[in-house]
Chains A and B, each alone.
Chain A
C-alpha cells in the first residue's frame, strides 16, 4: 500500500498555472503516493481524483486524516484569493511548502485587504519581524512601496516558518532561502511534460508573423513596452499580437493599443480554453515572456511555450537569466524598450535563428523538466526532511514559550548569552534540533 500524500493547491477551473502544474504531476505522483487533493472551490475536478473542499479557515478539515498522511504539501503563490486559504491551513498543520514565488508582496498586499486574512497577516508579520515591520506594511498597502517592504522583511518567512521543508523552482530562490537557514530547502526544476507528436501548424495567414503573450499577465509582465516596441514595426512587417490570459492592467493596456492604432492586430483574449491556447501556440512564431521585477518564480508559461517549441524573448533576471543561452533570447529589463526593439528587429531579420531557438528550448524542456524526475526528487526530499523538521518546529515552539514568559515576567535580560545557551541546550536535549 502506498503512503498517503495530501496536497493543497488551486485546482482547475481556478485560473491558475499552479493548478495546471498540480494536475500535470498527478500521474507521476501516483507512482509513489496515494494522493488526496484539497481545493477551496466546490466544483474543482480532475479526472479520476476525488477532491476535498476546505473552507478558508480550515475549520472543517478532518485533521485526523491529515495527520495520518505521510506528508502534506502546500502550494503557495502570489494570488491571495487562491492561496490565502492554503496558507491558513499551513499555519495550523505543518507540511512541505512549495513556494512558486518567493517575493510574496502581492500576496501580502492583497491579503491585508481581505477581512478573513488581514489580522492574521499583521500578526504573522509582527511575530516574524516585530512591530515596526507592521507599521511599514500598513503604510505601504496600496502602493508600490510594498515591494520595498518585502525587500527589508522577506514575507516568505511567515510561510516558511510553519513548513517542514521548502521546495523552490529557481536557483536564486534556493540561495536566498538556504541563507535564511530556517528550513531544509531544495531546488527542483519546475516540471512540465514534453508532449510527443506536437507539430507546428502554420494555419495562419502566409507571410504573417504571430506573436503571443500567455499566462497570468500581472503588472510586472511589461506588456505596455512590448506593444510600444511592436508598434514600431507596424508598417514594415505583417504581424499580429495575441494575449492569452487575464491582464491585470487591462484598461491601461487597451488605451495603449488604441492610441498606437493597433486595435486590429493586437488582441486581448482574456482567459481562454486549453484547446484555443494550444492552437495559438502551434502557430506562434515568437513569444514575449518578460518579468521585471521577477517574483522569484519559475515560469510555467515558459515551459508551455517550449513544449510547443515557441521561441521566446525573456528578461535577463532571476530564473530566466539561468535559462540555457540559445534556448531563449535575453534582454536587459532595465532598458526594456530599446532592447525589445532590437530583439524584434533581429527576429524579422533572422526568423530561422529564432525557430532554432524554439527547438533548443524544447530540448531543454525534455532534458531538465521531466515530471517523473521531479516527483522522484520530491519524494526523496519528503522522506529526508520530515523527522528533523518536526523536531525543529517543536524546538521553535518551546523557544517561543521561553521568550514570551520572559517578557511577561519583565525581568531585565541580564546574562542573556548564558541563559540562551542553557535554554538552547535543554531544548536540544528534548527535541534533538540544533
Chain B
C-alpha cells in the first residue's frame, strides 16, 4: 500500500512525537509498504493561528484525482489529522492538550491565558468532535489518550502500544550509584520535584539528568534550585547524548525516575523496562501508569517531594529490590507483546481501497 503519515511539527523542536512518526514510516517500509511522512509546520501563538492551521490542514484534500495514488492516510497529531482523504485512520499521539486536560492549568497550559482562548478552545473541541469520527478507525498511542478522547469528545478509540526506537539494543549493565532521569528539561516532566526530593533523602542518592534543555529558563531554575538546596554535587547534568550513550546510561543505572504530569505515553518507562530497571513514577503521571505496576515493576508514589524522596531511599537502600523490580519490568514488557508488526497490522488491515 501507499501510505502517507500526516503529522505536524513545531519547527526545530524534536520530541517523542517526531521519533514516533519517523519510526512508523520506517516500520511501514519494513513491512513492505510504500510510506512517506508529511509533516506540516505548526505554531500555536497567538491562538488565532491555531484556527488558521486547522483550516490549512483541512484544505489539504488528498483524496481527489490528483492524489489518488495515496491508498491510506495515517493521521498522528492535531491538526494534521484533519486532512481530507476517504481512507484515513488516526493513530493519535495526542490532541491539542491546552484545549483539553491542560485547560486552566497554570503551570503547563497556556491557551486559557489568551483573551480569545476560550473561543479557540471551543473551536478545537468542536472540530475534533466533528472530524475525528470521519476516520475509518481511531487508534491512540495509549489508554491515557483514548481516555481523554472518550472523556472530552465522547469518541471511542483503541490503544496501540509501540516499542521505543532501538528497543532491541537496550540491556542491563551494572546497577550503579545513580538514579537516571531521562527526559527533556521541561516543567511538565517535573525535574524540580526530583531535585527537591534529594534534599529530603536519608540515603546519599545521586541523580543523572539526561536530555536536552528545552526551556533555558527552566534549566536555569533547576540549577539554581540544586544550589540553594545544597544538592548540586549529587546531580549530574548529561544533556543531549548519543543513542548509544543513552542506552549505556540506562544500563548502568540503579533505577529510573519519571514523574511527569499527565504524560501521553512515555518512552522512558518502556526503555527502562527494556533495560531491566525499576521505574519510579507518580500517581498523576498518566501514560507510565499503564506499564508500571506498583511494587512489582516499579514504585508509584504521590506527586510530592516527600513521597519521591521516600521512593529514592527505598531503592537506594535495597538494591535487591531494585534489581527484582527491574527484572519484573522486563518480563512484564515481554508479556505485553509490544511490537511494531502488531501495530502496523492493526493500522493497515483491510484498508486497501
Contacts and interface: CB of A to CB of B under 8 A. Distances in A.
Interface of A: 58, 61, 63-64, 66-68, 89, 92-94, 387, 390-391, 393-394, 397-398, 401-402, 426-427, 429-432
Contacts of A61: 115
B88 to A, nearest CB: 13
A398 B127 contact: no
Contact of B120 (A64, A387, A394): A394
B130 A427 contact: no
A71 to B, nearest CB: 10
25 contacts: A58-B115, A64-B106, A67-B112, A68-B104, A92-B115, A92-B116, A93-B116, A94-B118, A387-B126, A390-B122, A391-B123, A393-B119, A394-B119, A397-B48, A398-B52, A401-B52, A401-B55, A426-B58, A426-B59, A429-B58, A430-B55, A430-B58, A430-B127, A432-B126, A432-B130
Contacts of B58: 426, 429-430
Contacts of B126: 387, 390-391, 394, 430-432
Contacts of B130: 429-430, 432
A67 B47 CA distance: 13
Contacts of B112: 63-64, 67-68
B152 interface: no
A430 B52 contact: no
From B55, B59, B115, B121, residue with most partner A Cβ within 10 Å = B55
A66 to B, nearest CB: 8
A64 B110 CA distance: 9
Given A393-B123, A432-B130, 8 more contacts: A390-B118, A391-B123, A394-B51, A394-B120, A394-B122, A402-B55, A429-B58, A430-B130
Interface string B119-159: 11111001100110000000000000000000000000000
A67 B54 contact: no
A426 B123 CA distance: 14
B127 A94 contact: no
Contacts of A432: 126, 130
A64 B107 CA distance: 12
B114 interface: yes
Interface of B: 48, 51-52, 54-55, 58-59, 82, 104, 106, 112-123, 126-127, 130-131
Contacts, number: 79
Nearest to B82: A430
B55 A387 contact: no
A93 B48 CA distance: 12
B131 A394 contact: no
B119 A390 contact: yes
Contacts of A393: 119, 123
A212 B131 CA distance: 63
Contacts of B131: 429-430
B55 A426 contact: yes
B261 to A, nearest CB: 18
B51 A397 contact: yes
Contacts of A401: 51-52, 55
A67 B117 contact: yes
B54 A430 contact: yes
Contacts of A394: 51, 119-120, 122-123, 126
Contact of A94 (B52, B55, B119): B119
B113 A64 contact: yes
Nearest to B109: A64
Given A63-B114, A391-B122, A431-B123, A398 B51 contact: yes
From B121, B126, B130, residue with most partner A Cβ within 10 Å = B126
Nearest to B48: A397
B127 to A, nearest CB: 5
Contacts of A66: 115
A432 B123 CA distance: 9
B117 A387 contact: no
Nearest to B59: A426
A432 B128 CA distance: 11
| A-B CB proximity, top 4 nearest | A394-B123, A92-B115, A390-B122, A93-B115
A393 B118 CA distance: 11
Contacts of B120: 394
A393 B120 CA distance: 9
Contacts of B55: 398, 401-402, 426-427, 430
Contacts of A67: 104, 112-113, 117-118, 121
B58 to A, nearest CB: 5
A64 B121 CA distance: 12
A432 B58 CA distance: 14
A427 B126 CA distance: 12
A393 B122 CA distance: 10
Contacts of B122: 387, 390-391, 394
A430 B60 CA distance: 13
A66 B117 CA distance: 10
Given A92-B115, A401-B52, A64 B104 contact: yes
A5 to B, nearest CB: 14
B123 A63 contact: no
Nearest to A428: B130
